[in-house]
Amino acid sequence: MNDILTHVNARGEAHMVDVSEKDVTHREAVAESWVCMRPETLDLITSGSAAKGDVIATARIAGILAAKRTSELIPLCHPIALTSITVDITACPPDRAHIVAQARCDEKTGVEMEALTAASVAALTIYDMCKAVDRGMEIVCTRLLMKSGGKSGRFERDMDDRCEPNG
């Protein structure tokens, strides 16, 4: 593990990392987030009965759009050309939704932040669309599951490190 904060310069100031000398490689990242809710709320989502419309489709699109705009949201992220972004949302009865976002690119810098942003914004969209019936929903365990490419190589979370919320 590297103990150097790359977004802090020698004077202790935040700065954007210079990637001009890095090689372009294929990069991929997968992130997840969970939304815990009342069982009745999950039933509304899965039945398509939510007052604001199709929650899962809307959250998926919101996650994709957010990934594309990550550099506008996270101040020190480089704008990158994504080659793929997928957001999968699975109902996990009785009271959870699981979001998995995967981002890919061929760039000089990674796509971890894009995957994390996609998962986060998809979760926030579920909350927004269902808050009228369940303000007690919780967004939990947003985290990186895997990243590959670049000089630092591959990171894969130990699958024994589970993060399945109890609801």
- Tell me the pLDDT tens digit for each residue of 78-94: 999 999 999 999 999 99
25-48 pLDDT tens trace: 999 999 999 999 999 999 999 999
Residue 65 has pLDDT above 80, yes or no: yes
Q: What's the pLDDT tens digit per position in 111-163? A: 999 999 999 999 999 999 999 999 999 999 999 999 999 888 899 998 777 67
Is the pLDDT at 6 greater than 80? The verdict is: no
User: What is the chain's length?
Assistant: 167
Q: Among residues of the chain, what percentage have pLDDT more than 90?
A: 73
Whole-model pTM over 0.85: yes
Q: Please list the active-site residues.
A: 128
Is beta strand 96-107 parallel, antiparallel or unpaired with respect to 82-92? antiparallel
Class of the domain covering 25-155: alpha beta
pLDDT score, position 9: 74
Dist. CA 57–CA 53, nearest whole Å: 9
Residues 6 or more apart from 58 whose CB is under 8 A from it? 52, 125, 129
Q: Look at residue 5 in the predicted model and tell me its pLDDT.
A: 63
